[in-house]
Structure 1
């Protein structure tokens, strides 16, 4: 097991560092178990003694390396949100921003990644923490090396030179451990990039020896790659092939897809120069395998993300359905009392603002107790359902129909400017006639009096409580007057009473 990193020891809980060390040693099964234990109490459960954004982003890196892509994205989003991105300062912020840049680099967003890494170096310098600065310098330098390698051209020499200076500074700052070893191997690769192959070989061998002693597969892989580049430049292709093969083996051990793709292409090029078609084909197959692994991981992550989205949408729909169900009467499917109380004030406010007149119709089923007593409660339920059907038929889509309680119904009728000012009484009479003329024999036979409705009607002001009180008084008059009638609020004019049944 490689030695721990003093910087990480200062910024992260022991359990988090343990998972990272297992990953760096290629022990993925153990790392997965340890990671599951780490987040079993909740992925966001971070002790106050640690900087929360740093721990969350580090856990995002661990999740990414373990192929837990949706979790990685969730953690990095939360960690980024927790970070003060407007005025980041201090070692923890520098370390967090550096890791964010590394994640962006890993998924191919290289320009913003490099900007974040450069920002992390600046913040680390201001923090005065040499360990943090060393770590941030290594990440930015590595990004510049891989940019130079993957995009050779006039700017590649400049990138290698910048990386060399960053690695050199990092070595001077870092204490013995993984960061110092990684800086040493990266420094060797940058030296090879600027053409100083003798120094690159010497530093590469030193980094390789230190990495092997520490069981540091990342640095071992990087150092072998450096030596493969050096020997290839010297046309010592057999030795170059050996080092390139070892570099690729190391990258595959720690499942670093970016390294695997780069090192397999390097091995294929060396085999081609050796006129070794078998070796070249094998290396290219490993390139394809690395590329396929990257695609599979992303596809799996996308699949998981889509599944999570599907579950979230389903849960949202179920929650919406539950809210809708809470506002509906299960027997008739009409809006229930709670639904009316929630929706009516908004409707009344809207039509009042438009200068329109709201009408409230309060209906009570006549002889309903006789229906239940003589025909049974099941027949009574069917009667209520039939009346609900008639209400839907006689009212308009804009009207709000509600089963208020028991055998009482409410209809909120909203008139339009071009409609009669007596719209409420007209609709009420239409409903009364529809119920009176309905054929109830299929439901009740001839064993009880056929149900009718009494209706109390009230209009304005646009206040549900006032409308209900006025309509209730009118309904009481309709009941006392013999039922199967429409009575209108007494505050209306005599002309409004002309439609009374």
Structure 2
């Protein structure tokens, strides 16, 4: 049944409670106008769980006002804020109860009942009697509806369970709004277990109190309880009148859950009377209420798909941004950041297979002269050509990077049993650059060559780089366009790599 206002002091803002009161009085235009004023506001200083309760409470009101997309948006935001670790919070219990009501309204009934049961458990741990009564009313009312719509053989046991929850709730509160809600649901449970005299007394009291308070929600429920009693007593004409009043008031307050249940009850009564016109009208109202639930599911699915599309797009953009940040825009190779990100995993996997990690450090000889003689555009083209030659001479699982300027790094992957693989790869790279036809790129300008330092040793990038840098220095000093190998890096101290 419909979820009444949370009663925990300070949780739900005053204007929110006024919106709910207008809704229950059937003053929908006024409720809608006031709701526009409060929907974007959350009380200053509200903690995360109270904020969650406020948002989901507003989702319920948006649902009642027929503002389905907004209801789904508010419910999703409030649900996201919900923290299961705070299982002792009354606000968490309130939020769970409101979510259960919304789930019931859109037809996700199993999940709704699970959520409502959980709200009662949380409310018990919270130790707040008003919150517990509120959650008991929600659960008991939903069980009533479940008993009405399920197999007749299972109904008595479900009504008995609901009766226990609602009786407990009535023993906890004196506040009239919640007491009327509990009484209405309690009366239906009494009728369900065959206590018709007590059910009639409770339904009549609910109706009387609700009429005095101009509470259309309570008036609707009170008429429904009395209609059920009259139907069980065989007074179908009176039952039809009372059920019609219940349906009309449920329509006035735009409560889809009540309208669906009460119009179905009215249709059954009309059918027993042979009132085909009344039955058809009741079924039309029932179908209209059901259509609202279906449209909500469709709207929710559409929103979920759109949110998923946006999330996937954002994920792809984030991945692309990460990749772009780790890639050299000129050559397409990994840049220094990309090398540092990927190196450790490659080095560790190489060492885990019992292989020796190799690092090849490549520096273009006299590159400043290339830029000076042929221009920077030609120099950039030359660097792209060298990057392509590096990729050609290396395997797919080798890590090839532009370290800085005219300096490149190759970190070899699975080196296999060949203990000279590093020097062999380095010599292939040197020969490829030396033998390349540079005419199309540089014309008659002196063609570039490369000097290369090679090192093998422990699976640490900074040590390998320091050793290869020493070998590169020797290659430059001994005439360039050559490969030098550092014999061992086992004894080299760890230093920060660099140029």
- Which TM-score applies when normalising by structure 2? 0.83
Between 451-460 and 100-109, report the one with greater CA deviation: 100-109
Consecutive unaligned residues of structure 1, counting only runs of 5 or more, are: 493-501
- Asked if residue 466 in structure 1 is aligned to residue 463 in structure 2, the reply is yes
The C-alpha deviation readout for 1:331-350, integer Å capped at 9, x for no partner, is 11111112222322332233
**Distance (Å, rounded) in 1 between the aligned partners of 2:91 and 2:349:** 53
Map residues 94-493 of structure 1 onto 2, 5 A cutoff: 99=98, 102=101, 105-106=104-105, 107-109=108-110, 112-113=114-115, 115-116=117-118, 119=121, 123=125, 127=127, 130-164=129-163, 166-168=165-167, 170-418=169-417, 420-446=418-444, 448-489=445-486
Please give the root-mean-square deviation of Cα atoms over the aligned residues, in Å: 3.2
Equivalent residue pairs, number: 473
Between 464-473 and 68-77, report the one with greater CA deviation: 68-77
Between 52-61 and 261-270, report the one with greater CA deviation: 52-61
**Distance (Å, rounded) in 2 between the aligned partners of 1:464 and 1:182:** 71
**Distance (Å, rounded) in 2 between the aligned partners of 1:334 and 1:410:** 10
Distance 1:252 1:330, change over 3 A: farther
Distance 1:351 1:15, change over 3 A: farther
**Distance (Å, rounded) in 2 between the aligned partners of 1:349 and 1:6:** 58
State the partner residue of 1:12. Answer: 12
- Give the Å deviation of 1:146: 1.9
CA contact (8 A) 1:53 1:80 kept: yes
CA contact (8 A) 1:362 1:408 kept: yes
Give 2:55's match in structure 1, choosing from 59, 62, 84.
Answer: 59
Q: Equivalent residue of 2:358, what SS?
A: strand
- Asked if residue 83 in structure 1 is aligned to residue 86 in structure 2, the reply is yes
CA contact (8 A) 2:6 2:94 kept: no
Q: Equivalent residue of 1:482, what SS?
A: coil
Distance 1:141 1:348, change over 3 A: closer
**Distance (Å, rounded) in 1 between the aligned partners of 2:210 and 2:10:** 22
Consecutive unaligned residues of structure 2, counting only runs of 5 or more, are: 63-67, 490-499
The C-alpha deviation readout for 1:75-124, integer Å capped at 9, x for no partner, is 2353242423xxx4x86676566556556655302653564365367557
CA contact (8 A) 2:475 2:482 kept: yes
CA contact (8 A) 1:15 1:38 kept: no
**Distance (Å, rounded) in 2 between the aligned partners of 1:370 and 1:6:** 79
Distance 1:23 1:433, change over 3 A: farther
CA contact (8 A) 2:224 2:246 kept: yes
CA contact (8 A) 1:237 1:274 kept: yes
CA contact (8 A) 1:398 1:414 kept: yes
**Distance (Å, rounded) in 2 between the aligned partners of 1:180 and 1:170:** 8
CA contact (8 A) 1:117 1:139 kept: no
State the partner residue of 1:495. Answer: none
**Distance (Å, rounded) in 1 between the aligned partners of 2:452 and 2:122:** 75
CA contact (8 A) 1:70 1:305 kept: no
The C-alpha deviation readout for 1:353-403, integer Å capped at 9, x for no partner, is 433222221112223223222322112111111111111111011211110
State the partner residue of 1:496. Answer: none
- Give the Å deviation of 1:14: 3.0
